Amino acid sequence: MNEQELRAVVIVTLKTIAPEVEEGDLRPDRPLRNQVDLDSMDWLNFLIGLHEKLKVDIPEADYARLVTLGDVLDYLKTKLGR
Amino acid sequence: MIEFKLPSLGADMDEGKLLEWKVSPGDTVKKGQVVAIVDTSKAAVDVEIWAEGTVFELLVEPGETIPVGTVMATLREAGESPLAPPAGRGVGGEGVSAGRRRISPAARKHAEELGVDIESVVGTGPEGAVTLADVEQAAAKVSPARTAPAPDRTLDRAAEMRKAIAAAMGRSKREIPHYYLSEPVPMRRATDWLAKANEGRPITSRLLMAVVQLKAVAVALKKFPELNGFFRDGAFQPAAAAHIGVAISLRQGGLIAPAIHDVGEKTLEQLMLDLTDLVKRTRVGSLRSSEMSDPTITVTNLGEQGVAAVYGVIYPPQVALVGFGRIAEQPWAENGALTVLPVVTASLAADHRVSDGHRGALFLAELRDLLQQPESM
């Protein structure tokens, strides 16, 4: 899976939680949860969606590192061994 | 014969539109079964029945908008002879009169609005019942000019929901003398405990602090029945169990606070499953009537949006609302020492007709103490 495909998976997963999201409006360097208004339940469901699609394990202790969309993509890349 | 009436699905609902029957005459139904889907300003609600019996007659047609309390169907009780004539219906020539004609309440109401003589309308419904459509047809025949346009049901749901919330909250502020209390609650133990509990869990079964808070509220309520129940007809009716309405905001605006039942008796794992399911169904607009009409108290959590505290507006006929703000690190002085702790502000808005600030304060203290012993829940 290349970077573009990974990004597409993340956006699709995000849209299942927040269908109104426009990809073009997302700033990769800003806190994702503020931009998209995700509460803890939304956030958990977002991560569960990524876990199910990408088969990655995301321990709760790592949540603090996942702030921006860029962070999420970098984290997943590392997890997927790229 | 049992009459099945349209239940109230919350203080902000006074009518509903039948979308679909899930049962037919002759079907047996059991308690809790979904028998109809009714559209309200907030959601399409699966309406449950709380009696057992056999459906005899459906009195309302899909598409009709009817007021709360309207008899929607009649049922035979178990043991009632299937051959017995339904009560109130004459048989064998006596007692049959025009006054006994079946007229749906919605049809009667609409006829009044349109100035149509209901007794002159020919019924085409089951057993000659006069339906809404019959009334409209009769009105069109009598005087097309007087036919009022059908109410616009395609109104934007968001606008209808705003109106419904405005009505309920306006009533709350007019009728309920609120008092407000708040208490900072140290959350070190609870956050540590939760982190540890989640460490060994797969992501699909992790718990959120929200369920710990819900459980703590329910357990604390056991000692404070005056905060859990309904104020109706000038008197307080305490509830036997804590059915907590969880305020869930909708992405398109507005909010719904459907109930999780018997919160005090459920494990945190079960509550997490229930909350996940409830949020999912609320967002897609698929709720059950008991979830809409049952909440005995509401809990709102606005901490996610970053506010320090929330002072809620009680949802009538409930008598209290508990709010949680953001969990954030704060300086904390205790035993002459200053430390930094995660702290949340818990608040209580309660009905002064039913309880006093003293008891409210004791409730918040109990809630604070319970959150220091998360393992006990």
Could you write out the DSSP letters of every residue in B285-308?
TEEEHHHHH--SEEEEE-GGGT-S
Give CA–CA dist B23/B36, Å, rounded.
Answer: 7
pLDDT in tens, A8-57: 999 999 999 988 888 888 888 889 988 888 989 999 999 999 999 999 99
What CATH number does the domain located at B2-146 have?
2.40.50.100
Chain B residues with beta carbon closer than 8 angstroms to that of A51: 203-204
**Mean of the pLDDT values across residues B78-94?**
50
Q: Flag whether residue B98 sits within 8 Å of chain A, measured between CB atoms.
A: no
User: Is B203 in contact with A47 (Cβ distance < 8 A)?
Assistant: yes
Give the burial class of B138: count Cβ atoms within 10 A of its Cβ; 0-12 exposed, 13-18 middle, 19 or more buried: buried
Q: Output the domain CATH number for residue A19.
A: 1.10.1200.10
Q: Flag whether residue A18 sits within 8 Å of chain B, measured between CB atoms.
A: yes
Chain A residues with beta carbon closer than 8 angstroms to that of B199: 59-61
Q: Does an H or E element contain A77, and which? A: helix A69-79
User: Is A39 in contact with B251 (Cβ distance < 8 A)?
Assistant: no
Give CA–CA dist B267/B212, Å, rounded.
Answer: 10
Out of A20, A45, A51, the one facing B251 most closely (by C-beta) is A20
* Predicted pLDDT at B85: 45
Tokens encoding A34: 């503020």
Domain with CATH 3.30.559.10 in chain B: 158-376
Q: What is the residue type of B204? A: T
CATH topology of domain B158-376: Chloramphenicol Acetyltransferase (3.30.559)
To probe the interface with A, which of B196, B199, B203, B326 has the most A CB atoms within 10 Å?
Answer: B203
Residue B181 has pLDDT above 70, yes or no: yes
Total tally of structural domains belonging to chain A: 1
Tokens encoding B68: 């709360």
- Domain of A39? 3-79
Q: For B3-7, B252-256, B339-343, which range has the lowest pLDDT when averaged over its residues? A: B252-256
* Predicted pLDDT at B127: 64
User: Is A44 in contact with B203 (Cβ distance < 8 A)?
Assistant: yes
Domain with CATH 2.40.50.100 in chain B: 2-146
pLDDT in tens, B277-310: 999 999 888 899 989 888 999 999 998 878 999 9
Find the closest chain B residue to A37 by CA distance: B305
Give alpha helix (H) positions in B176-230: 188-199, 209-221
Out of B195, B203, B208, the one facing A58 most closely (by C-beta) is B203
Mean pLDDT: which of A68-82, B175-189, B246-260, B305-319 is highest? Answer: B175-189
To probe the interface with B, which of A40, A60, A76, A79 has the most B CB atoms within 10 Å?
Answer: A60
Chain B residues with beta carbon closer than 8 angstroms to that of A60: 195, 198-199, 203, 206
Cis peptide before B202 (omega within 30 of 0): no
The Cα of A29 is separated from the nearest Cα of chain B by a number of Å equal to: 20
Bridging pattern class, strands B15-21 and B178-186: unpaired
User: Is B195 in contact with A57 (Cβ distance < 8 A)?
Assistant: no
Give CA–CA dist B333/B338, Å, rounded.
Answer: 4
To probe the interface with A, which of B209, B304, B329 has the most A CB atoms within 10 Å?
Answer: B304
Residue A7 has pLDDT above 50, yes or no: yes
Tell me which residue has tokens 């608040």. B347
Q: Flag whether residue B192 sits within 8 Å of chain A, measured between CB atoms.
A: no
Find the closest chain A residue to B250 by CA distance: A18
Chain B residues with beta carbon closer than 8 angstroms to that of A58: 203
To probe the interface with B, which of A14, A16, A36, A39 has the most B CB atoms within 10 Å?
Answer: A39
Give CA–CA dist A46/A80, Å, rounded.
Answer: 17
Find the closest chain A residue to B251 by CA distance: A18
Out of B199, B275, B305, the one facing A60 most closely (by C-beta) is B199
Q: Flag whether residue A58 sits within 8 Å of chain B, measured between CB atoms.
A: yes
Chain B residues with beta carbon closer than 8 angstroms to that of A41: 208, 210, 275-276, 279
User: Is A44 in contact with B304 (Cβ distance < 8 A)?
Assistant: no
Q: Flag whether residue B276 sits within 8 Å of chain A, measured between CB atoms.
A: yes
Residue B120 has pLDDT above 60, yes or no: yes
Chain B residues with beta carbon closer than 8 angstroms to that of A18: 251
Residue B258 has pLDDT above 80, yes or no: yes
Q: For B73-77, B120-124, B137-141, which range has the lowest pLDDT when averaged over its residues? A: B137-141
Residue B121 has pLDDT above 80, yes or no: no
pLDDT in tens, B106-118: 777 777 667 677 7
pTM of the model: 0.78
Out of B198, B204, B252, the one facing A60 most closely (by C-beta) is B198
